[in-house]
Amino acid sequence: MDIAEVMDTVGSVIDVVGVAVIVVGALVSSWIAYDTRRRTPRAPIYVAYRRNLGRSILLGLEFLVAADIIKTVAVTPTFTSVGVLAIIVLIRTFLSWSLQLEIDGRWPWQKPVSDDAAGPRTPLPS
């Protein structure tokens, strides 16, 4: 077994881990939302459910990008494959930033607003 085969196998394993993180995260997020609704029928679950689901998708995307980088750079470093990798990474980075904005309400490069500086919060409608 040469190094290219090992790197391809490692990339494939990381791909599977990325997909598993997304699937397990979706299942766990759904279970948490269901359990919250079951215990407290009028509890607002949408925002928490969306955040938990978004976090699992973000983590899964990070694994998928890592797998693509390993497979492209270590296995087939051609101009075409590197170009395709660049497009994939750009798309996934845009998705990650969009999800981060949805989860935290700010861009990844912005400093978080402290609770003191934010002023009084208005409750979410139920």
Mean pLDDT value of segment 55-75: 87
Handedness of CA 111, 116, 117, 119 (dihedral sign): positive
Would 89 be classed as within a structural domain? yes
Q: Which structure tokens are listed for 2?
A: 């040469």
DSSP state of 106: S
Position 77 confidence tier, pLDDT thresholds 50, 70, 90: confident
DSSP state of 22: H
Query: Shortest CA distance to 61 belongs to which of 90, 83, 34?
Result: 90
Position 47 confidence tier, pLDDT thresholds 50, 70, 90: confident
Residues 6+ apart with CB under 8 A from 97: 107, 108
Q: Which structure tokens are listed for 38?
A: 């079951």
- For 80-119, write each residue's pLDDT tens digit: 888 888 898 888 888 888 888 877 777 767 777 765 555 5
Would 120 be classed as within a structural domain? no
Question: Containing H/E element for 114?
Answer: none
Handedness of CA 86, 89, 95, 96 (dihedral sign): negative
Number of domains within the chain: 1
Would 58 be classed as within a structural domain? yes
- The residue segments making up the domain with residue 101 are 3-111
User: CA 89 from chain center: how many Å?
Assistant: 13
Would 27 be classed as within a structural domain? yes
To the question of pTM greater than 0.85 for the whole model, the response is: no
Mean pLDDT value of segment 16-29: 96
> How many Å apart are CA 104 and CA 35, to the nearest integer?
23
Average pLDDT score over the chain:
83
Would 13 be classed as within a structural domain? yes
Q: Which structure tokens are listed for 96?
A: 């990650």
Return the higher-pLDDT residue of 78 and 117.
78
Mean pLDDT value of segment 37-56: 89
Return the higher-pLDDT residue of 114 and 74.
74
Position 21 confidence tier, pLDDT thresholds 50, 70, 90: very high
Position 125 confidence tier, pLDDT thresholds 50, 70, 90: low
